[in-house]
Amino acid sequence: MRAITSRALLALTFAAGLNAAAPAFAADAAAAAASAASAANSVSPAFAKPFNEAQDLLKAGNGPATLAKLKELEALPNLNPYEKYLILRVRAPAEYTANDNVAATADFEALLASDQLPAADRLQIMKALASILYTTEQYPKATVAIQRYIDAGGDDAQLRELLPQTQYIDKEYAAAAKGFRAQVDATYAAGKVPTEKTLRLLATSYSQSDSDAGYLWSLERLAVAYPKADYWKELVARAAHTDKFSERMYVDNYRLKTQVLGGVSDSERLSYAALAAHAGYPEEAKHILDDAYASKPFTGPDLAEANKLRADVNKAVASDRAQQAAAESSAHTAKDGNALVSLGLLQTVDGNPQQGAQLIEQGIAKGGIRNPEEARLHLGLALVKAGRDADAVKTLDAVSSGPNGIVPIAHVWSLYAQSRLHAAAVPAPAAAASK
């Protein structure tokens, strides 16, 4: 949690705040009476000198000496209500300076309850009490005190920032989420990016208050601004857990995993290769199997199946390569764009995304596409691989229907492209000066 102003600085702040409410007093009774606003706000000559000395000690940061001097004042006979208030006004910060947090808290509360406290000073005392409660880790009380300060019109930016943190510690997660979200929204509105810590606190607050939509919103922004593997793993997993996930989307889910996570697990390689081959992309299946054989992940029945699949895939790849020129010519002369879209994806997964994206764009422009949303998804995939991230975001965000699972998969692809755009926009750290 964020640290608030230091104890020493707070004490000086409290002391400085006494200047208007508890001024230095003249030593003689006549001058004191003349300077008093009314008879009710007067002090005796015996009170004035030691009180001035107590203020000076507090301003010097000497809490124990201040408290000792105030003991002298408290021993004076027949103190009037104003004098008692002035003692309280100095004693509260002096106790805090002397690390007597229990007494300081009680006296600041007493100040707020005092009818002698000027209305103009209430916010200052509320702020002081809230700050003390936070710095002394009395978080439940700090939550109440900070909220009271804000409700009374307090506008201290640091206390406003601390409120959701105290609510989070108190396990008031719904309230904390509301506060953190306001901070995050304000940061984005200012053209800045929230800290990872704030976004994580927001995500956890949403999670703990059973707001899955809010949690996902936070997770997505974490992945875009701070693209760590854990964030992407969860987003990819969520995309695949769509209700009645279409079988046609499994190969696209593997493609997404490969791009965002750097690959699929060993246990998924055979399934990915088989699905790619079945979908008509033997070159993609060959890449998967070749990578897999390099690390020897297959054993037993899986190895036998992989060997058979690899033989079939190699034959299909050889056939496709032999017919590549004819296939391209046929795709360009076809009445519709389906062959161009398929050829474009084939080029993309074969490692030629620039050409692949152009072919898919030509196919979509030609029209007559049987599965237009899948064509758009695959165009987005090709654009990402080609480094055209801004174009990819526009394309992927336009995917709005199709087989179950296509929209969330397209959305994660878009988030990935956004994360690369964000990274490109962040200034690189300045090079260390040569010695």
What is the distance between the alpha carbons of residues 385 and 420, in angstroms, rounded to a whole number?
11
Q: Specify the number of domains making up the chain.
A: 2
412 and 282 within one domain: yes
pLDDT at position 324: 80
Question: Could you tell me the CATH number of the domain that includes residue 413?
Answer: 1.25.40
| 276: region left, alpha or beta (phi > 0 left; psi from -120 to 50 alpha) | alpha
- Is 226 part of any domain? no
- Is 1 part of any domain? no
Q: How would residue 291 be classed by pLDDT, with cut points 50, 70 and 90?
A: confident
- Is 254 part of any domain? yes
The answer to whether residue 6 scores a pLDDT higher than 60 is no
pLDDT at position 31: 37
The answer to whether the beta carbons of residues 368 and 337 sit under 8 Å apart is yes
What is the distance between the alpha carbons of residues 4 and 134, in angstroms, rounded to a whole number?
8
| Domain final residue, candidates 136, 153, 185 | 136
Q: How would residue 26 be classed by pLDDT, with cut points 50, 70 and 90?
A: very low
Taking the CA atoms of residue 331, residue 334, residue 336 and residue 339 in that order, the dihedral angle to the nearest 10 degrees is -20
- What does the block give as tokens for 187? 């940061």
Least confident among 74-78, 146-150, 292-296: 292-296
| Domain final residue, candidates 93, 110, 136 | 136
pLDDT at position 16: 43
Q: State the residue for tokens 């107590």.
A: 54
Q: Determine the structural domain holding residue 37 and report its residue range.
A: 7-136
pLDDT at position 105: 92
Among 14-18, 272-276, 299-303, 393-397, the range with the most confident prediction by mean pLDDT is 393-397
| Domain final residue, candidates 84, 101, 136 | 136
pLDDT at position 22: 43
Strands of 120-254, DSSP E: none
pLDDT at position 298: 77
pLDDT digits (tens, 9 = 90+) for 229-287: 999 999 999 998 887 888 889 999 999 999 999 988 888 889 999 999 988 888 889 98
- Is 159 part of any domain? no
- Is 149 part of any domain? no
415 and 276 within one domain: yes
- What does the block give as tokens for 427? 């200034």
410 and 287 within one domain: yes
pLDDT digits (tens, 9 = 90+) for 355-393: 999 999 999 999 999 999 999 999 999 999 999 999 999
The answer to whether the beta carbons of residues 344 and 382 sit under 8 Å apart is yes
What is the distance between the alpha carbons of residues 153 and 224, in angstroms, rounded to a whole number?
36
- Cβ burial of 191 (10 Å; 0-12, 13-18, 19+) is exposed
- Is 342 part of any domain? yes
What is the distance between the alpha carbons of residues 428 and 431, in angstroms, rounded to a whole number?
9
